[in-house]
Every structure is written in C-alpha cells, then in structure tokens.
Structure 1
Amino acid sequence: MAKLDLSLPYITPKLPGIGGAIRARPELFNVVEVPAYEPLGYGDHIYVNITKSGRTTRDTQIDMASLLGLRREDVGHAGLKDRHAISTQTFSILMPTDDPKDVSDLLESSLGVKVNWAKRHPKKLRSGHLKGNTFSITVTDLTDAPKTALQRAKKIQKAVAKLGIPNYFGTQRIGKDGCNVLDGFDLITGRYRERNRWLRRFLVSSYLSHLCNRYLAGRVESSNFSRIIRGDLAKKHDTGGVFTVEDAAVEQPRFDAGEISFTAPIYGYKMREAKYEVKEMEDAVFANAEVTLEQFRRIGADGTRRLGRLLPDVSVAPHDEGITLSFTLPAGGYATVILREFMKNDEEPETEVDTPDEDEEQD
C-alpha cells in the first residue's frame, strides 16, 4: 500500500488557532445525547438515561448486564461515549417484569452512575438511534493570552457559521498514524484475518472512512467545498432526503442557506453514485485506493453516503481555565473535528473507539 496521506485541510487556514489541550479533567468535556425518539412508557425494555464519568459505554454495558444477570446483548445503546468525559446517554435493558425504579436504584448504588430517568419501551435501543450529541468542551493551556485566544476563537466561529466544516472522520476512527486504516486495508485485500466480528467491521469501516476523508480533503483543496456541483448527491438537512443535483445554479441558494449539503462517498459495492463531474471526482479517489469492488463485495462493504458538511452553531465563551466551545452535531459527527478547526494543533485525543456508522442515506 502506498504511503498514507492523513492530511486534512482546514476550512479557515488563514485564521490562527487557539492551541491548547482538551480533557484536562472530565468535567471540562461534557456530552449529552440527543435522542431520536422518546420511550413510550410501556414494553419489555427499560430505557435508563444515565450520567457517568470514568467509564466507557462498553464497560457500562458489560457491568449492567453482569449486575442484572443478563447477556450483554440484552443491554442496548445508541453510541459510544468517552471515559474521559462526563457523558449523559441512554441504555435499554431487556427486563419485562422488573420495576424500573428498583432497577434504577440498583444501578446507582452498584455502578456509581446517576440515573436521570427510567421508562419502558417496546424495542431495544440500537446503534445509531439518536439525532446527535450536544457538547460543551473547555480548551485549556491556550497558546496565547486569554483575551487574544478569545478574539481568535470568535473569528473562527464567524467563519465556521458561514462556511461550515468538512464532516471528516476523527482520529478515533482512523487511529493514531492511521493504524486502523492500515489494518482495514489488509483485511479488505486478504493480507490479514480477524476473527472478532466487531473489530473486523470496525477496521474495514476505518479504511472506508479514510477514503471518505480523502474525498472531502480534495473537495476543500480544489475550492469545491463551499459550492454545490451538478451531479452531487445532496442531502436535505430537515428531512434527510437525498437527491441528484441537475442544476447547480438553482440549488446553490439552498446550499448557502444551509438547507442542503453535498454528500460524500462511503465506498462499497452497493454505494449510490454521484453523476457527471462529481462522479469523476469520486472515481479518482477510488482509483488511488488499491482496492476493488469485488474485494468490497467479499468483505461485505455495501457502501453508503455521508453528509459532507457540518453546520454547527458554535458558541464561544471565556472560562477560568481557557475557552469553552459549545455545539450540537448530528449522529456520526466528531467533536474533535470541530475542535481542531479552532485549536489548529491536531492534538491526538485519547478516546474510546466508536462504532461503525449506520447508513445515513435516506430517500
């Protein structure tokens, strides 16, 4: 495999960053899930919304199952959260007859988590069943004086509000120095075998995420990030519907207004392709990938589309220890991608790996 290009161009390269570090303490990195739906109040599953720190989602899932005498797969969640944070998220527990309050009390007393509420629902909570996540993150150890850093952050904030940010996959998916990408490539090309089904799926997804990043990077570098192009598969932000752009001049005002954005390819043998010039751009990335559609078919990589542009409403506020950035991202978006645009030091985050995305395309 050729040398990996992991470079990700900034959308505001001429604006200096604030530097700094994140996760100095868990209370400086807060994340709250935004649910896709509310539990109905009846059913075999107890949905418990908890606030935790110092433990991963998988640790919590395993401990819940062990404590309650269940299989791990009887405990569901919508996405993974970092141990180095204060995170609020919902789990589902398959317990048709138990009192939700009794279960809540047991979880609080035994696991040291705070249960915010517990309600019943007919179905298990599964990966991707969330609208997104809301973050409040304090950047500490700033490069410059707080006043200067705040001014810099507000300039970036203003630019991001106008331009958006490429929906790159973060280091959590790619791995330090691209280690997950390399393993994924070896899996796809048959150089490496992995028995663990979850890890196999994750590593393949990491390689596909890298290709998506290369497409987005090329779009930024060719000055095509801030415009819609004929042939784009565009996504409606309000409904999630995806359509082919036939007349870019007609759709550009909707793009500028934040109503639609282009989508990026998650390559696979069933992926819905763009057309015209955009297809050529996507094909050029794939041509350099040293993999084939037949290999994708053999490994089970179907392919999908991913929202290409994030439009976060970032608020910037001074903090005694630095600067606090607050924003909400849709499911699949990475907080570290937003942070790197403001910090511009590409700090490697220590974080739990995340699950492969659910398909994002909706017709």
Structure 2
Amino acid sequence: MNGNSPIGELLPGPAHFQVIEDPAYAATGTGEHLYVEIEKEGLTTDVVAQVLAKACGVAGHAVGFAGRKDRHGITRQWFSVHFGQESQIQAEHADRGGRFKVVAVSRHKNKIRPGHLAGNRFRLGLRLTDPDAAVTRLSSLASAGIPNRFGTQRFGFNGSTLALARAWGAGDPAAAVAICVDPSGQWKPGDPLPGGFRHPPEGLVLGALRRRPDDHAGALRAAGDQLRKLAASAAQAAIFNAVYDARAAAGILHQLRPGDLALAANGAPFLVTDGDLGDVNRRAAPGVLDVVASGPLPGTWRLRPSPAVVAEEQAWAAGTGIDWTWLGAEGRLESPGERRALVIRFRAPPVLEPDADRHWLSFSLPSGAYATEVLAAVGIAVPADRR
C-alpha cells in the first residue's frame, strides 16, 4: 500500500501498543448510566463488556462502548452500564490470560453508543533503522493525509469475518456457521461440536447448534444483530479498501472528478460538479485537505456519487467477492452504510522520541482510523498478531 522501503518495526508485546480513547463528551456525574473507564490488556472489548454486565446483574445490551480496542495492547476506554453501581465493579479483574482495572468512574444520562468518541491517542514502541527517514516520512504523511484504509483486524482471524460475510451474503448458512465454529476451517457441519466456553456471538451460535444441529440459519439468527453487523462491517471494509487501492493506483486520491461524493472538513458530504471542480481540488490538495474524496461503505444510505462513479467503484471492488445488494435493503447483511474519507488528518501531529534502544511514536487519530495504517504508510513493519 506504500512505496516506502522498510525502516523499522513495531516492537512486540502489549506495552508497545498503547491506546487511550478520547470520549466525544464528558460525563456529567449524574444519570442512570454508570460510566467506567477501563484499562485492559489481553482482553477484547466485548469480553470486558460481558464481565461488567455480569457484575452488575444486567443484560449484555445494557452495557455500551464507543468502539472496540485491540486485545494485543494496553488500551483505555469508557463503558456505560445502565443502572450499574460503582460498588458492583471490582477495581481489578483477571480473566483468561488478560486483565483490566478501573481507572475512573462517573455517571451520565445516556448510554455510550458506537461512535461516541472524538478519537484515539496512540503511543507505540518502535525499533528503527533510520530515525531520520521516519521523521521525514511522518511529516510528509501529515501533509498528504493518512490512508484511511481498514486494518486487517477488521476482517477477523485469518480473514474469517470476511469469509463469514461472503458465505452469509451468498445464502450459505452452513458455511457461515462452520466459520463461526472454527475460523481455521477444520470443522464441518456434522462433525462433533467443540467443547469449552465461547463468548457471544460465537457462543450463541454453538448453543443453538447443540439444540438443533441441522438448523444453520437458526444458529445465525440466534447470534442476533451483533454477528450480522460484524459480517457487514467486514464486507464494507473490503469494498472500501479495494476502492482506496484503485484510486491510489490511478493517482486520484487527492483529485476529485465531477460526480464524486466529497466530504468537507466537518464531514458533510456533497456532490462535486463541473462548476466547483477547480475550487474543490484546490481544497483537496496535500497540505490543505479542507475537502477529501470519499469511498463507499455500501448499504441503504441514499446519498451516493453519480451512477458512473458508483459503477466504477463496483468494478474496482469486484475482486472482493462481495455483492453490494447483500448490504442493501432486505439484503442478508443489510446495513445503513455511509461514505468514508479516503484520507484523514492527524488529530495531534506525530512525535518521535528516542528512549535507549527504542523510539516512542505518539499521535492521535480520528475515530475509526487505524494506527497500523500509519505505520504501513511510513515503512514500519507490524507483528503478525496486529495484522
């Protein structure tokens, strides 16, 4: 995805991948939702949410969070628990090789929902062979904008969530269930089900199969919206990345055409016309980025580029194996959809600091952006557990 030669690597281990979530708003201190800031290591966001729900004696849907954070790091984020009480939450908790601790508590009037964050701050430990080149490349990236591609984390272990989306969307529930049961592909319908505990939504699929082994469609329904949304998001991400790669290869990441759907600095979308083309492209130039080109997250969202641009994007994304109708109204993976900026700006500029045998890279990104894409863009290798 970039033409830069390798100049280093992200060091392994959670301590070298630190994330702090910046909430979209501050809790007021009053309200029926308990707000808990958690620092976690070795655990997924979903596991922490389930532990909090059990501790407070509420259903899983009573717990909210703004976004999922990497399991392979030390990450901080806020959770909300409807009618939860501070006295019900343990200050520290260890679970299945991971741990979390409570950093702060408060209360607020509403549940934290996906997207309720301003962005994320990152502090990454690097081993660099050419620190000067890293500084130069980071400066160029700040000017040109960061590739807003989705990281491979979005596609699941070995791409299993994307494979799930393809099977589910194509109407093959048996194949979809097999991926849920065993992402490695070894298990087949009719084989004995694996034992042991599984967290939802995969655990709900297994539970349904134990009750009715041949009802694969029913097992998918038993997992609820969470599994379908995960599959849909992986499908959308694959399409977006394909469109990004095609525009980058064509040299038109910063060049808009009539019929493109652009995004203003505040995120407002607008259709580019012949009359405003010159002004739009001046504002989209590297070093300015008051306007950016957008890429598709297909769904039911009605605001779209011109039919010619949509057809072009669909052709670019044909290799993903995703049919866009799966994500539309009445599709098996129906999703609201939206447009996503192809490039983004740092919320806080990158800072590189030497520290004995390593360097620490700090920066802040808008919500939904991937730190691993920053590293890839400047030629810093990422360990396999973060790809």
Which band: TM-score by shorter chain? Answer: 0.7 to 0.9
Amino acid at match of 1:241: A
* Residue 230 (str. 1) matches residue 258 (str. 2): yes
Distance of 2:357 and 2:291 partners within structure 1: 37
Alignment of 1:162-201 (within 5 A): 162-175=143-156, 178-192=159-173, 193-194=176-177, 195=220, 196-197=223-224, 198-201=226-229
Structure 1 unmatched runs, 5+: 1-8, 352-363
- Distance verdict in 2 for CA 1:109–1:63, change over 3 Å: same
1:182-331 matches, within 5 Å, as 182-192=163-173, 193-194=176-177, 195=220, 196-197=223-224, 198-237=226-265, 239-246=266-273, 247-256=276-285, 257-275=288-306, 278-286=309-317, 291-296=322-327, 297=329, 298-299=331-332, 300-312=334-346, 313-331=349-367
Q: In percent, how many aligned pairs have the same letter?
A: 29
Aligned to 1:72: 60
Deviations 1:120-140 (CA, angstroms, capped at 9, x unpaired): 111111122111111111123
* Residue aligned with 2:8, SS: coil
Match of residue 107 from structure 1: 90
Q: CA deviation at 1:44?
A: 0.5
- Structure 1 runs, 4 residues or longer, greater than 6 Å off: none
What is the aligned partner in structure 2 of residue 131 from structure 1? 118
Q: Confirm whether residue 150 of structure 1 aligns to residue 131 of structure 2.
A: yes
In 1, Cα distance between equivalents of 2:152 and 2:142:
24
Distance 1:317 1:281, change over 3 A: farther
> Aligned pair in 2 of structure 1 residues 34, 59: CA closer, same or farther (>3 Å)?
same
SS in 2 for 1:229: coil
TM-score, normalised via structure 2 length: 0.77
Distance 1:38 1:227, change over 3 A: same
What SS is found at the alignment partner of 1:169?
coil
Counterparts of 1:109 and 1:325, CA distance in 2: 28
Shift of 1:116: 3.2
- Residue 19, structure 1, aligned to residue 8, structure 2: yes
Aligned to 1:121: 108
Judged with a 3 Å threshold, the aligned counterparts in structure 2 of structure 1 residues 301 and 91 are, in CA distance, closer, same or farther, namely: closer
CA drift at 1:70: 2.3
- C-alpha displacement of 1:47: 0.8
Give the number of aligned pairs.
Answer: 327
Asked if 2 retains the 8 angstrom alpha-carbon contact of 1:44 and 1:122, the reply is yes
> In the aligned structure 1, how far is the partner of 2:307 from the partner of 2:47?
47
CA contact (8 A) 1:316 1:324 kept: yes
Taking structure 1 as reference, are residues 283 and 59 closer, same or farther at Cα in structure 2, changes over 3 Å only?
closer
Is 1:50 aligned with 2:38? yes
* Alpha-carbon distance change, 115 to 345 in structure 1, aligned in 2, over 3 angstroms: closer
Cα 1:330/1:215, change in 2 over 3 Å: same
Q: Choose from 108, 130, 142 the match for 1:161.
A: 142
The 1:55–1:27 alpha-carbon spacing in structure 2 relative to 1, beyond 3 Å, is same
Q: SS state of the match for residue 72, structure 2?
A: coil
Q: Deviation digits for residues 218-258 of structure 1, max 9, x if unmatched?
A: 01000001223322212122x22111122221112222312
1:215/1:346 CA distance change after superposition, 3 Å? farther
Q: CA offsets, 1:282-320, max 9 Å, x none? A: 242255555545433321134321121122222222232
Any conservation in 2 of the 1:27–1:86 contact (CA below 8 Å)?
A: yes
Which whole-Å CA distance do the structure 2 matches of 1:178 and 1:85 have between them? 20
| Counterparts in 2 of 1:73 and 1:291: CA distance versus 1, 3 Å | closer
Q: How far apart in 2 are the matches of 1:271 and 1:285?
A: 20
What CA deviation, in whole Å up to 9, does each residue of 1:111-159 have, x standing for no partner? Answer: 664433322111111122111111111123x4x3xxxx20121121122
List per-residue Cα deviations over 1:307-358 (Å, max 9, x = no partner): 211222222222324222211111111111111122354643348xxxxxxx
The separation in 2 between residues aligned to 1:320 and 1:280, in whole angstroms, is 53
Unaligned runs of 5+ in 2: 178-219
The 2-side partners of 1:293 and 1:341 are apart by: 29
> In the alignment, is residue 341 of structure 1 matched against residue 377 of structure 2?
yes
Structure 1 residues 274 and 209, CA gap change in structure 2 (3 angstroms): same
TM-score (norm 1): 0.81
Aligned to 1:93: 81
Distance between the aligned counterparts of 2:294 and 2:115, measured in 1? 18
Match of 1:5?
none
Q: 1:77 to 1:86 in 2, by over 3 A?
A: same
In structure 2, C-alpha distance between the alignment counterparts of 1:335 and 1:270, rounded to whole Å: 28
Residue deviations 1:3-33 (CA, integer Å, cap 9, x gap): xxxxxx21xx1x32323233x2322211011
Given that 2:10 and 2:382 are in contact with CA atoms closer than 8 Å, whether structure 1 keeps it comes out as no
